[in-house]
Structure formats: C-alpha cells, structure tokens
C-alpha cells in the first residue's frame, strides 16, 4: 500500500527558505541624482552668463580650461555669487560613460546656486 506524501514538511522548508532570503537581503535606498528637464529653446531671464562645461573621458573643460573632475568643485565655488542661480551648460564628448556623468552630477550637487543643464547630442 502506498503511503500519501505529507505536504507539511515541504511547506516548512519553503517557509524557512523564504524567511532566510528575506532576512539576508538588504532593502537600502541607493543614492539618487536629481535631474530636471528644461524645455528646448527656453529663454534665460537671468543676466548671468552661462558657464560652459565639456565632460570628457579623462578631464573636464570649464569655459575652455582643462582640469580634473576633482578640481571642478573648487573652481566653481570660487566664482562670484550674486544670489541667482548660475546656468551651467554641460556638453558630453564622445565616449563619456553614464557613470562619468553621474560622478559629475554628484560633484555639482554640493555647489550652491548652480543650475546644470545637460545638452543632448546628435
């Protein structure tokens, strides 16, 4: 005579596995980078002249002056601030990765009164 299988032990094993994976997982929130969209051809009401930044694979160029990404924060903090946000146009050179752009945006996050705009490529 065949004996019927008990599902109780199988349910217990599934419950223990579920409990193990729930407790061993981390539900942490990763760092976020805020992006805001600007309308194409939007007119600047500000009297501030925009800064131009070209992001390259190995360095950045702020208004044509090459510098490492680490020095960009100091260069932007030394500029005169008149209370208005300074527009910063960011052009991406070919070969720039999304991680490099994210590193730049994270560095710009700590600089007050900067309004970065990433220019689209063709």
* Residue with more model confidence, 1 or 86: 86
Is 95 inside a domain boundary? yes
pLDDT in tens, 82-121: 667 888 899 988 888 888 888 888 888 888 888 888 887 5
The domain that holds 86 is classified in CATH as: 3.30.420
Is 94 inside a domain boundary? yes
Which range marks the domain in which residue 92 is found? 51-118
Residue 100 phi/psi, 5-degree rounding, is: -65, -40
Is 63 inside a domain boundary? yes
Q: What is the pLDDT of residue 16?
A: 93
% of the chain exceeding 70 in pLDDT: 78
Dihedral through CA 115, CA 48, CA 80, CA 33, nearest 10?
Answer: 0
Is 66 inside a domain boundary? yes
Q: What is the pLDDT of residue 9?
A: 83
What b-and-e string marks burial along 110-119, b requiring 16 or more CB atoms within 10 Å of the CB? ebeebbbebe
Residue among 76, 80, 82 at smallest CA distance from 109: 76
User: SS3 for 117?
Assistant: strand
Rg, the chain, Cα only: 25
Q: Whole-model pTM above 0.85? A: no
The answer on pLDDT for 61 being more than 80 is yes
Taking residues 20-37, report their average pLDDT. Answer: 73
> Could you give the number of structural domains in the chain?
1
Q: In what order do the strands lie in the sheet with 60-62?
A: 65-67, 60-62, 51-55, 86-92, 114-118
Is 72 inside a domain boundary? yes
* Residue with more model confidence, 6 or 12: 12
């Amino acid at each position: 005579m065949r004996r019927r299988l008990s599902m109780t032990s199988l349910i217990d094993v599934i419950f223990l596995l579920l409990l193990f994976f729930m407790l061993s997982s981390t539900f942490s929130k990763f760092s976020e980078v805020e992006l805001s969209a600007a309308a194409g051809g939007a007119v600047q009401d500000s009297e501030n002249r925009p800064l131009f930044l070209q992001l390259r694979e190995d360095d950045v160029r702020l208004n044509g002056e090459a510098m490492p990404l680490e020095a960009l924060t100091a260069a932007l903090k030394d500029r005169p601030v008149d209370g208005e946000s300074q527009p910063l146009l960011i052009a991406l050179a070919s070969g720039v990765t999304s991680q490099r752009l994210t590193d730049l945006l994270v560095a710009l996050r700590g600089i007050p009164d900067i309004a970065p705009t990433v220019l689209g490529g063709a």
